[in-house]
Amino acid sequence: TPQAGKYSRVLLKISGEALMGDQGYGLHPPTVARIAQEVKSVHDMGVEICMVIGGGNIFRGLQGSAQGMERATADYMGMLATVMNALAMQAALESFKIHTRVISAIRMDEVAEPYIRRRAVRHLEKKRVCIFAAGTGNPYFTTDTAATLRANEMNCEAIFKGTKVDGVYDKDPKKHADAKRYDNVSYDEVLQKHLGVMDASAIALARDNDLPIIVFSLDEPGGFRGILAGEGTYTRVHG
């Protein structure tokens, strides 16, 4: 069997937009399947996997509130959007015969399990992929904060944040040809320079618990597995 390297339990965070392909909105099933395949290849290494998926491909609280909706209401809608994405990912993973649980921070017992920490740990020990849905269950937070919270609670060794670029740059590499990628960057530098890895609450929560964040590109086939094995380019955010 392939080597798991130094990781035994990790959390993969992806934005909702990662699931929409080039459609600009919603879910693109072939893209969901491709990411599920990435997760499978890491699962096949024996690594225990948590996932948090955003909801921005369907609804963002801030956009709703900019249009006059009460912020908390709009945020709850955003959290519900993450549940749809989680169910789509569960279906894709199960089509590859990976046992998966969707665990929601907002109770909806007919569709997902409620979040019970020790039960989630047990699922991981049994090699089930746990998709944590509905963010933190609280408005005014993001799914990046939810990812950091759950990664801490599940004792993950690191958060792997899959993005469109292969790490953290000093400026947007899609707009500036001279943008430089960091191999390593500290939590404080991310906060001071507003490097846009995750929002400030998520970074602070990772920093206070020494949880490394590894930013890598999900667009490279085999990227997730390669990064876990220490190959390829990525940025490690740590103390």
Annotated binding site for ATP: 13-16, 56, 60, 163, 169, 172
C-beta of residue 158 within 8 angstroms of C-beta of residue 164? no
Residue nearest to ligand UDP (CB): 54
**Closest-CA residue to 129 (of 158, 89, 171, 167):** 89
146 counts as binding ligand UDP under rule CB under 6 A: yes
Binding residue ranges for UMP: 55, 75, 136-143
Give residues with Cβ within 8 angstroms of 208, minimum separation 6.
none
Q: Binding string, 48-87, against ligand UDP, x = CB under 6 A?
A: ------xxx---xxx-----------xx--xx-xx-----
Tell me which long-range contacts 176-181 makes (C-beta under 8 A, separation of at least 24): 181/233, 181/235
Q: How far is the CB of 136 from ligand UDP (least distance, A)?
A: 3
* Residue with Cβ nearer ligand UDP (7 or 141): 141
Contact segment (CB under 6 A) with ligand UDP among 20-28, 110-118, 130-138, 202-210 equals 130-138
235 counts as binding ligand UDP under rule CB under 6 A: no
Buried b / exposed e over 126-158, threshold 16 CB at 10 Å, is: eebbbbbbbbbbebebbbbbbbbbbbbbbebbb
Per DSSP, 49 falls in state: E
Question: Which residues of the chain form contacts with ligand UDP (CB under 6 A)?
Answer: 15-17, 54-56, 60-62, 74-75, 78-79, 81-82, 135-136, 138-139, 141-146
